[in-house]
Amino acid sequence: MHIKNIVAIGGGGFGRSLGSLEIEKYIISLVNKINPRICFIPTASGDNDLYKLNFYRAFSKLNCITSHIDFFSRTENLAEKVLTQDIIYVGGGNTKSMLAVWKEWNLHEILMNAYENGIVMSGVSAGAICWFDKGITDSYADKLEIIDCLGIVNGIACPHFDEEKERKPYVYEIIKKEIIKSCICIYGNSALHIKNDDEYIPINFGKGKKSCLRIINENNQLKEEFL
């Protein structure tokens, strides 16, 4: 039986600056290989070239065998590429557009197969919430929205919880109005490692910051539970 891992990063990591690569080292530690194969999927940023360059700089420093998948130039055999990796890393950007492209190419089913076969799933922002049933996204210019995601793990997730001022009041409002029952909120410079679907391990790679919490409505009172 394969151990299943998702590392959902609320904000930070190599996309902002290489730094000490602490969360990247954590992700690699989940694979028992000297030179793990890691594939970057930067769809949410429109396959941004600088983002890809930062990925190669970061993970080459960590002795990984690196590659990426493009969707806005000629696209290779996705199943063959994904299923030969040890780690998948999904970048941030427009979650809604990313998921639409993935669905057109059937990548969502390939990623589910990879997850079930023990390939580590990871990513930041859009690449964090995509694994859940639903996510809170700023894909729309003028508002936050709840969107359907891949449904690989249960729950609704919100990244950048302490980094973007509109996030907290929005989450409180939709829970108070019973639009959703609960939300997993991930802080910047923090991540949530989900092991075998339901074991939660909060990771703080900032300096003394909070990491992850679940907000629920309990008897008409909003309650924050740190994971």
Sheet of 120-124: strand order equals 65-68, 37-41, 87-90, 120-124, 5-9, 190-195, 199-204
Asked if 57 and 14 touch (Cβ cutoff 8 Å), the reply is yes
Residues in the chain, overall count:
227
Q: Which of 122, 125, 190, 211 is catalytic?
A: 125
- The question of whether 68 is a catalytic residue gets the answer no
Among candidate residues 21, 82, 27, 16, the one with its CA nearest the CA of residue 50: 16
- The question of whether 125 is a catalytic residue gets the answer yes
Q: Which of 45, 160, 190, 211 is catalytic?
A: 160
Six token digits for residue 151:
């449904």
Six token digits for residue 29:
């530690």
Residue bearing tokens 């003028």: 142
CA 187/CA 161 separation, integer angstroms: 5
Among candidate residues 41, 34, 45, 22, the one with its CA nearest the CA of residue 89: 41
Torsions phi, psi for 53 (to 5 deg): -60, -45
Strand, helix or coil for residue 141: coil
Six token digits for residue 202:
């909060």
Residues acting as catalytic residues = 125, 160
